[in-house]
Amino acid sequence: MKILLVIPTFYPSLTYGGPIISSYNLCKELIKNKISLTVITTNQNGKKRLNYKPNIKHNINGIEVIYFNNSKILSKIYYSYEMKKFIDKNITKYDVVHLHSIFTWPIYYTFKKAYANNIPTILSPRGMLVADLIKDKNRIIKNLILYIFYKNIISKCSQLLLTSNLELDEIIKLKYKNNYKIIPNGINYNNDNFEYISKSSEKFLYNLDNNNKTIVAFIGRITPKKNIEKKFELLTLFTNVELLLIGEHEPAYFNKLTRIVDKNKLENRVHFLGNIHGSYKKLLYEKCDYTILLSKQENFANSVLESMHFGVPVILSKNIGINEYLNIHPSVFIFENLFDLSRDNKFKNLKIETILTKSFTNSKEYKKMQTNCINLSQNFEWKNIINKYIENYSKVKSKYFI
């Protein structure tokens, strides 16, 4: 079976967050299982370009990847003339095409050519088909693009491959119907991922005293969707808490957040540490008591699995896709109402003002929670997930769906 995986940006373009890591690890596991795979993508990496020679095959830790030059004029839709030529010439060589993301030219054009040649296609929207988020930014443009260009892809692809029922619910809200399959993301933490930390952030973490303070970290792209402002409420409610913000930021939103920090005199308790990757994550998690994610919506949330892998309990808002897999787990705190962080947790007799004290994070109960985190994360290791993907590819190839 030969699979063509199409994604606008790919590893090591870690600027784009969780989907890059999850697609990269999926590819690694497919290669381990002797699946023939080619990844085509662009060389875009934020405002920069990846330092790979374009339009030729590269071996990226065993994965065959072709990075095509992203057009300077049409960079926002990731148009590449050389990619177009590759698709035209090679599309019929593949048994299944797996499209990651949407609202980009590679997805539109590859589907068009695959559909014309009767090649099965799988679409993984990667959390981009969310009604409220479409309304939040460029609503008219996005709806017009959806209607003109992407309606057929969503409705006529062989399968929508999703990571949670929450992601499915969002697609239903948009009134699209199709075959679908839900398979969670996996976790495969290892040190061959890109290594990075700034010197100032590394020094800060080494010197961070977490013996007398409760350290809470957010890990992910710092964008309006992530509701970072809500995390500041913890600091106004609990003076012993410090917040670490890890990840790439949108400049306008970053400026807004720094103004809030200054206004509320939180500059000594909110720390923007930028990107941290690879083995440096271990240092980060050793300093953390909890990670927190209060997003408006997340189709899955890979960072939650990573946190639990390192034995760090998580504080989550309701609209997070991974919650369905963790809903009654004793190391996960899910809050129904972001405006009332002090209310009793729905699933245990602990209040947030209790769990955020150092006396609790030093307790036997907290140590047990750490062990429970690690045990649960093992269920999501790629070795336990990958066979579901391989079986699904085979069924899509044979045009059979459960």
**Shared-domain flag, residues 362 and 290:** yes
What's the mean per-residue pLDDT of the chain?
Answer: 87
- 41 contact partners, CB below 8 Å, separation of at least 6: 6, 7, 8, 9, 10, 65, 66, 67, 68, 106
**Shared-domain flag, residues 168 and 232:** no
38 inside domain: yes
Q: Which of 194, 188, 181, 104 is nearest to 150 (CA)?
A: 104
User: Among 13-22, 76-85, 218-227, 306-315, which is the least confidently predicted range?
Assistant: 13-22
138 inside domain: yes
pLDDT in tens, 374-397: 998 999 999 899 999 999 999 999
**Shared-domain flag, residues 21 and 168:** yes
Q: pLDDT: is 206 or 13 the higher one?
A: 206
Q: pLDDT value at position 341?
A: 46
pLDDT grade, residue 27 (50/70/90)?
Answer: very high
Q: pLDDT value at position 402?
A: 46
125 inside domain: yes
**Shared-domain flag, residues 364 and 389:** no
* Distance of alpha carbon 241 from alpha carbon 175, whole angstroms: 43
**Shared-domain flag, residues 273 and 293:** yes
Q: Taking 90 as the threshold, does the pLDDT of residue 127 lie above it?
A: no
> According to the per-residue pLDDT averaged within each range, which of 90-99, 186-195, 346-355 is highest?
90-99
278 inside domain: yes
Tally: H helices and E strands in the chain:
17, 16
Q: Taking 90 as the threshold, does the pLDDT of residue 267 lie above it?
A: yes
Handedness of CA 276, 334, 385, 171 (dihedral sign): negative
Q: Taking 70 as the threshold, does the pLDDT of residue 148 lie above it?
A: no
Q: pLDDT value at position 195?
A: 82
**Shared-domain flag, residues 132 and 244:** no
User: Among 73-87, 225-239, 292-306, 345-359, which is the least confidently predicted range?
Assistant: 345-359
19 inside domain: yes
Q: Structure pTM?
A: 0.88
**Shared-domain flag, residues 172 and 219:** no
Q: Taking 70 as the threshold, does the pLDDT of residue 400 lie above it?
A: no
194 inside domain: no
Q: pLDDT value at position 192?
A: 53
- Contact indicator for 242, 213 with CB cutoff of 8 Å: yes
**Shared-domain flag, residues 127 and 93:** yes
Q: pLDDT value at position 41?
A: 97
402 inside domain: no
**Shared-domain flag, residues 126 and 175:** yes
Q: pLDDT value at position 347?
A: 39
**Shared-domain flag, residues 368 and 289:** yes
pLDDT in tens, 149-190: 677 888 899 999 999 999 898 888 887 778 899 999 998 776
3-state secondary structure of 379: helix
Q: pLDDT value at position 152?
A: 81
**Shared-domain flag, residues 242 and 348:** yes
Q: Taking 60 as the threshold, does the pLDDT of residue 191 lie above it?
A: no
Domain count, the chain: 2
**Shared-domain flag, residues 73 and 150:** yes
CATH of the domain at 267: 3.40.50.2000
User: Among 99-113, 179-193, 226-240, 341-355, which is the least confidently predicted range?
Assistant: 341-355
* Distance of alpha carbon 80 from alpha carbon 160, whole angstroms: 25
Q: pLDDT value at position 242?
A: 95
State the CB neighbour count (10 A cutoff) for residue 280. 18
For residue 289, what are the domain limits?
Answer: 199-380
64 inside domain: yes
